[in-house]
Amino acid sequence: MTRRAVIAGIGHTDFGRLPDRSAFDLEVEASKRAIEDAGLGRQDVDGLITDPGPAQGILDGITPHYLALGQYLGIDPAYTGSDILGGASSAAIIQRAVLAVEAGLCSVCLCVYGDSALSTPGSFGYGRGDDAAFGLFGAVGIHALAAQRHMHLWGTRPEQLAEVAIAARQHAARTPHAQKREPLTLAQYMAAEYVVEPLRRPDCCLMSDGAAAVVVTTADRAADLRQAPIEILGHGQANRLSTWSSPEHFDTLPAARCGPETFARAGMSPDDIDLAMLYDCFTIVVLMQLEDYGFCKKGEAGSFVEGGRIGPLGSLPVNTSGGLLAEGYGGGMLHVIEAVRQLRGTAGARQIDNAETALVSGHGLGMNTHSTLILGK
């Protein structure tokens, strides 16, 4: 009988400014919470895969992230590793856990993201190799280049980027643990300072200290556990490492490959998705994903999001806990956790009625990496 992987546990810490806590302290807490949520114990964990977050990577040049965390957790997993795909890492490590569990390499795989990006000097404002000589710093510059292209090619307006930022705050207002819960008006958005024009401050994600973890196990094992299992209906990954030399770079994301391929493997289409957790490091990336996943036609995402379509009462709620723009920077793992909560029906004041399927995406580096999960109950 084939082994089928499911999500059986979720856990996260507070998100925000937590200056007294190291990233590992936070990751240990998130790991314990996820294992407890599943109704499992430390002795059950035989897989550990980590997303080290922007500030960590290889810690001292020698010790990889999974080794340090595994040491703190005191576990000797059969299967381990860290994936460094930037913002695509969280969904990618869930994917890797699914593959490992279904292949029989491990049975209870803990997937952990954590960082103390607010309190520890990190890599958010880094220069990109030799491109720093021309002033290209931070992920914001790359994404502003994409936003300028979108505006040029498709006539996308700042008011349409604002719709994404405003919807994120509306979702966050219903999320008790969200970092930025106060509403954002269009007038406030338009008056906000540019960081890298055409992107303003509210177009950019938050920075956070925090950690989040997910437990992947077999459907058979999950049948006796504490939580109703969440099914993984499809998963995918696509990357464009050739960067500038690809003619499509800046005009589409690798999601344009990853999305259709994942839908095809799941035997589903965008019409089958009830809510979407789209990686939202910058508002423009939400618009590009809505197009590249086929929720609307290429170039039409600006008009698609108008009128609150991706807000709490819209026909396609996006990032129902506020996402990176308002909930907190959870690397992408908080997107997975929110999808699980919605599908379990435990999302509280922000619960979307009849949520049966959710798409979760990860997007990373200079728009080079992409990962997709389709979850169901």
CB of 64 to other proteins, least distance (A): 24
Contact flag: residue 295 with other proteins (CB under 8 A): no
Contact flag: residue 135 with other proteins (CB under 8 A): yes
Taking a C-beta distance cutoff of 8 angstroms, is the pair 333, 371 a contact?
Answer: no
Contact flag: residue 71 with other proteins (CB under 8 A): no
Q: Which residues contact 178 (CB under 8 A, 6 or more apart)?
A: 15, 171, 172, 321, 322, 326, 327, 328
Contact flag: residue 127 with other proteins (CB under 8 A): yes
Contact flag: residue 155 with other proteins (CB under 8 A): no
Taking a C-beta distance cutoff of 8 angstroms, is the pair 296, 163 a contact?
Answer: no
Q: Which of 2, 43, 245, 354 binds other proteins (CB under 8 A)?
A: 245
**The CA-based dihedral angle spanning residues 40, 45, 48, 50, taken in that order and rounded to the nearest 10 degrees:** 20
Buried b (16+ CB within 10 A) or exposed e, 207-226: bbbbbbbbbbbbbebbeebe
Site residues for other proteins, window 308-327 (CB under 8 A)? none
Contact flag: residue 250 with other proteins (CB under 8 A): yes
How far is the C-alpha of 329 from the C-alpha of 117, rounded, in Å?
A: 9
Of 72 and 137, nearer to other proteins (C-beta) is 137
How far is the C-alpha of 63 from the C-alpha of 232, rounded, in Å?
A: 32
Contact flag: residue 197 with other proteins (CB under 8 A): yes
Buried b (16+ CB within 10 A) or exposed e, 344-361: beebeebebeebebbbbb
Of 30 and 284, nearer to other proteins (C-beta) is 284
Interface segment toward other proteins; rule CB under 8 A; list 65-73, 94-102, 238-246, 368-376: 238-246
Contact flag: residue 136 with other proteins (CB under 8 A): yes
Contact flag: residue 271 with other proteins (CB under 8 A): no
Q: Which residues contact 342 (CB under 8 A, 6 or more apart)?
A: 275, 320, 351, 352, 355, 358
Contact flag: residue 129 with other proteins (CB under 8 A): yes
Of 197 and 220, nearer to other proteins (C-beta) is 197
CB of 344 to other proteins, least distance (A): 41
Of 151 and 219, nearer to other proteins (C-beta) is 151
Q: Which residues contact 328 (CB under 8 A, 6 or more apart)?
A: 15, 16, 177, 178, 179, 206, 208, 210, 322, 334
How far is the C-alpha of 213 from the C-alpha of 343, rounded, in Å?
A: 17
CB of 156 to other proteins, least distance (A): 13
Contact flag: residue 176 with other proteins (CB under 8 A): no
Catalytic residues: 279, 329
Of 193 and 353, nearer to other proteins (C-beta) is 193
Q: Which residues bind other proteins (CB under 8 A)?
A: 125, 127-138, 141, 144-146, 148-149, 152, 193-199, 242, 244-245, 250
